[in-house]
């Protein structure tokens, strides 16, 4: 198994190109959340020629709709959602400077091509571990679309947040590679 790589956020484009499929990582710094409804609004703002409520340059979007925080906690359960839900929006956000995404599940072929074109990275977070992942979030604040509730855009400060490089900047895809290895058996 490859050694764990520390990744500091926002993403350094040079480091993104060194991350290889299958590498376990730990994330440190600020990232943003966005699910389906937030993606729809971001794309609509771009289509309308409006400024986005955040700069996407070198940023990481985590596909999560966190649960409300219990008393004394920063955030509630914060496990990833299925990334395919936002595939139709992703190429345009990558063209705006987005460098990373994190969720669960494979991505559409056009998203993989866009990842390669823009030298971005897709991280997979462990589904079903929302409470454990929430413990790695040190601060959470809504920065856009508060009317969307858990689907609002949050800025999260994370420390030692675990993920794995699922699709690297060259299009190497852990989901496809895993299937190939299994099929050979």
Please state whether beta strands 153-167 and 121-124 pair in parallel, antiparallel, or not at all (unpaired). antiparallel
Model pLDDT for residues 119-177, shown as the tens digit of each residue: 999 999 988 889 999 999 999 999 999 999 999 999 999 999 999 999 999 999 999 88
Q: What is the mean pLDDT of residues 29-46?
A: 98
d(CA 18, CA 8): 13
Categorize the per-residue pLDDT at 182 as very low, low, confident or very high, splitting at 50, 70 and 90.
low
**What is the pLDDT at residue 128?**
82
Model pLDDT for residues 5-35, shown as the tens digit of each residue: 999 999 999 999 999 999 999 999 999 999 9
d(CA 88, CA 103): 15
**What is the pLDDT at residue 138?**
97
Alpha carbon 17 to its chain's center: 16
Smallest CA-to-CA distance from 114 within 63, 167, 153 is with 167
Question: In this structure, are residues 156 and 31 in contact, taking their beta carbons and an 8 Å threshold?
Answer: yes
Q: Which of 39, 41, 104, 107 is catalytic?
A: 39
Question: In this structure, are residues 36 and 151 in contact, taking their beta carbons and an 8 Å threshold?
Answer: yes
Smallest CA-to-CA distance from 64 within 131, 164, 138, 159 is with 131
The token pair at 141 is 């604040």
Q: What is the dihedral of CA 63, 163, 54, 57, to 10 degrees?
A: -130
Q: What is the mean pLDDT of residues 64-90?
A: 94
DSSP tag of 57: T
Q: What is the mean pLDDT of residues 81-89?
A: 97
d(CA 131, CA 176): 28
Give percent above pLDDT 90 in the chain: 88
Q: Range with the lowest mean pLDDT among 54-58, 70-74, 82-86, 93-97?
A: 70-74
Establish whether 39 is a catalytic residue.
yes
**What is the pLDDT at residue 184?**
61
Mean pLDDT of the chain: 95
- The β-bridge partners of 27 are 7, 161
């Amino acid at each position: 198994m490859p050694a764990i790589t520390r990744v500091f956020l926002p993403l350094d484009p040079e480091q993104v190109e060194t991350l290889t499929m299958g590498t376990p990582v730990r994330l440190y710094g600020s990232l943003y959340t966005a699910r389906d409804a937030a993606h729809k609004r971001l794309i609509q703002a771009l289509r309308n020629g409006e400024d986005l409520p955040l700069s996407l340059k070198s940023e990481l979007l985590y596909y999560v709709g966190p649960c409300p925080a219990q008393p004394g906690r920063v955030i509630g359960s914060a496990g990833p959602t299925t990334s395919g839900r936002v595939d139709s929006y992703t190429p345009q956000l990558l063209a705006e400077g987005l460098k990373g995404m994190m969720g669960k599940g494979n991505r559409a072929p056009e998203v993989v091509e866009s990842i390669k074109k823009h030298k971005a990275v897709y991280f997979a977070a462990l589904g079903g571990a929302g409470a454990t992942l929430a413990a790695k979030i040190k601060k959470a604040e809504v920065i856009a679309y508060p009317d969307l509730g858990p689907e609002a855009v949050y800025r999260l400060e994370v420390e030692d947040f675990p993920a794995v490089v699922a699709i690297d900047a060259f299009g190497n895809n852990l989901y496809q590679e895993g299937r190939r290895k299994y099929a050979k058996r």
